[in-house]
Amino acid sequence: MFLSATPLLAWLPASLLLLPITIAIYRQFFHPLASVPGPRLAAVSIFWQAYHVRRGKLFAPRLHAIYGPAVRIGPNEVIFNSKEAYDIIYGAGSPYGKSDFYWTMGYPPRFDWRLRRNVPDCLHLLCEFDPARYKLQRRLIGPTYSTSNMRRHEGAVDGVLERFVSKLRSMAGEEVDLMEWMHLLSLECLTAATLSQTPKWIEEGNDQGMMEDNYNKVWLNWSVLGLFDGAVLLSQLVPSLKRVITKLLTLPAADNPGMSKFYAFARSRLNERLNEPSESSTHRDILDDLLRLYRERPEFSEKYLKSMTMSNMAAGHETVASALISVVTLVCSHPDAKAHVREELLRMHTSGSGASAPLSLETCLTSLPYTQACVREALRLQPVVGVSAPRVVPAEMDGGLHLHGNRFPPGTVVGCNPFALHRNREVFGEDAAEFRPERWLDGDEQKIRLMERVSLAFGGTSRSCPGRSLAELIMYKAVPVMFSEFDIEVSVPGKLEEMRYYFLSMITGVKARFKA
């Protein structure tokens, strides 16, 4: 006798209601991470984290103040703010691989017959999941991006700085958007050093809305979408669904007309140089170094060449701009620090050691200790990444990670939020939440080395930023030029901790006057 379908259908709504309740109870009370403190809703659903990231809220420092060094911010994710966690997760030789979050920012993957994703071999260092391939890529480009080689491109940066100063002088202290102008400066410096040509947007005083769109659309989109790996996977399998998913999550489309315009300019220059006979080239830029590598090392493919060239601008224009915004905003918001910087620069110029601007990088690094300390302090308090750099406890660690009285099984997503880590009082002192450049000059070498080590300003030791020397070349030359040539005034629209921060972190809404 067949069972009637009516009772089964009657149970269906109850079953659909019971399933999420059962999942919530399991995650809250029986999950392997159930003992890890944190917001209750965060333990139940990733939507807690997505909600706060969608609003750009900087929640990590507050959560650590409430719950301690380990905080559960998702059903399977925990963040830390301790030096012990930093060493384990990001230290040299760490086996902790990147989490699925990074799929949303990389090239479209290849799928095998089991629908497993494989990263295409295109040299995308931020989103490279294969550790062996990553090590090979870093070895290949290492000499090109070494500190000594980057200094060869100092003249290109000087040329941009001179144009930047000239344009701002012509504006006679007119109020400008600091984000746009620091972006113009960083973009043109990077392009000049890489391609020996720039789009000349400084003279236009307009970045085509590129930074505004990228921060408020692209980075917002990626920062939230990356939390939903199932949605990312679906959009990769069926690209036409990406806009539907974006709308369902109430996110802006990751479109940027200004970026497209710039990329067209950069790709055009790249293709011209690629087709140029090597013996006729007179360029002495980073692309010249990469072209030489391409011609001498078969494993450095044309894909690698094009990807690395574009990455110079794509990976650097926002991060360098963010760092410069932080330095200018924080120094100008602290009158004593600003006065000290200008006094140090005045002494340097009047002593005859730096009679002409821009100062040499060597002078900036060896003879401007307070100015250099301000840059380091700004990168500490306002790092360019606003969320955890997520890693995964390796499967080969049978016992998992044991830290701060908890066990985190293999597969757990773990990481340190730079804003929280850089405010650790054991590492940076009781005043870790304050802007105090003097902490880098106090003379305790052991303490300074510890602060330098426990830093995510340029990524963790195991996956550090390959363009660090280029970024530092620009920052350590641009900051002295700006503060020696201008009396800078800033207007900050609110508390920094209440601004919007995504995976990329940037102080926004600041207006500035550069008075000659």
pLDDT in tens, 245-267: 999 999 999 888 888 889 999 99
Mean of the per-residue pLDDT values of the chain: 93
Q: Which domain holds residue 269?
A: 21-515
Q: Is 255 exposed, middle or buried (CB count within 10 Å of its CB: 0-12, 13-18, 19+)?
A: exposed
* pLDDT tens, residue by residue, 383-439: 999 999 999 999 999 899 999 999 999 999 999 999 999 999 999 999 999 999 999
Residue 123 and residue 307 in contact, taking contact as beta carbons nearer than 8 Å: yes
**Contact call for residues 103 and 110 (beta carbons, < 8 A):** no
Q: How far is CA 18 from CA 11, 28, 32, 424, 516, in A?
A: 10, 15, 22, 42, 68
Residues forming beta bridges with residue 403, ordered by sequence position: 406
Q: What is the pTM of this model?
A: 0.94
The b/e string for 340-359 (b: 16+ C-beta within 10 A; e otherwise) is bbbebbeebbeeeebeebbb
Between CA 328 and CA 386 the distance in angstroms is: 19
The predicted-structure confidence for 409-419, as pLDDT tens digits, reads as follows 999 999 999 99
Where residue 355 falls among pLDDT bands split at 50, 70, 90? Answer: very low
Structure tokens belonging to residue 307? 């990807």
pLDDT score, position 359: 86
Phi, psi of 390 (to 5 degrees): -70, 135
The tens digit of pLDDT for each residue in 268-308 reads 999 999 888 776 677 789 999 999 999 999 999 999 999 99
Q: Is residue 121 part of a domain?
A: yes
Nearest to 85 by CA among 393, 386, 376: 393
Question: Per the domain annotation, does 38 fall within a domain?
Answer: yes
| CA atoms within 13 A of residue 71's CA, in its CB half-sphere | 27
Q: Residue 473 has which token pair?
A: 């070349």
Q: Residue 246: in which H helix or E strand, if any? A: helix 242-248
pLDDT of amino acid 1: 42
What is the tens place of the pLDDT at every residue in 192-219? 999 999 999 999 999 988 999 999 999 9
Question: How big is the CA angle at 16 (ends 14 and 22), to the nearest 5 degrees?
Answer: 95
Q: According to the model, what pLDDT value does residue 267 have?
A: 93
Mean pLDDT of the region 141-164: 95
pLDDT at res. 356: 53
Residue 467 covered by a domain? yes
Is 5 part of a structural domain of the chain? Answer: no
Angstrom distance (rounded) from CA 342 to CA 371 = 9
CA–CA separation, 153 and 111 (whole Å): 41
Which of 251-260, 313-322, 368-377 has the weakest average pLDDT?
251-260
**Percentage of the chain modeled with pLDDT above 90:** 82
Q: Are 405 and 386 in contact (CB under 8 A)?
A: no
Q: Which residues of 461-474 are buried (b: 16+ CB within 10 A; e: fewer)?
A: bbbebbbebbbbbb
For residue 16, tell me if it sits in a domain: no
- 422 near 385, Cβ under 8 Å? no
CATH code at 84? 1.10.630.10
Structure-model confidence comparison of residues 181 and 120, the more confident one = 181
Burial category of 326 from C-beta neighbours within 10 Å (exposed 0-12, middle 13-18, buried 19 and up): buried
| 374 belongs to an annotated ligand binding site | no
Question: 91, 389 in Cβ contact below 8 A?
Answer: no
Could you tell me which of 498, 402, 479 has the C-alpha nearest to residue 186?
A: 479
Cβ burial of 23 (10 Å; 0-12, 13-18, 19+) is middle
Q: Tell whether the model's pLDDT for residue 40 goes beyond 70.
A: yes
Residue 15 domain-assigned (yes or no): no
**Arithmetic mean of pLDDT, 301-327:** 94
Q: Is residue 420 part of a domain?
A: yes
Q: CA-CA distance, 266 to 260, in Å (whole number)?
A: 10
Domain count, the chain: 1
3-state secondary structure of 112: coil
**Lowest-pLDDT choice from 278-292, 314-328, 458-472:** 278-292
Distance CA 415, CA 81 (A): 9
Gap between the Cα atoms of 261 and 270, Å rounded: 14
26 belongs to a structural domain? yes
pLDDT given for residue 223 in this prediction: 97
Residue 75 has pLDDT above 50, yes or no: yes
Q: Which residues contact 16 (CB under 8 A, 6 or more apart)?
A: none
* pLDDT attached to residue 5: 54
pLDDT at 231 over 70: yes
Q: What is the pLDDT of residue 392?
A: 98
User: What pLDDT is recorded for position 275?
Assistant: 87
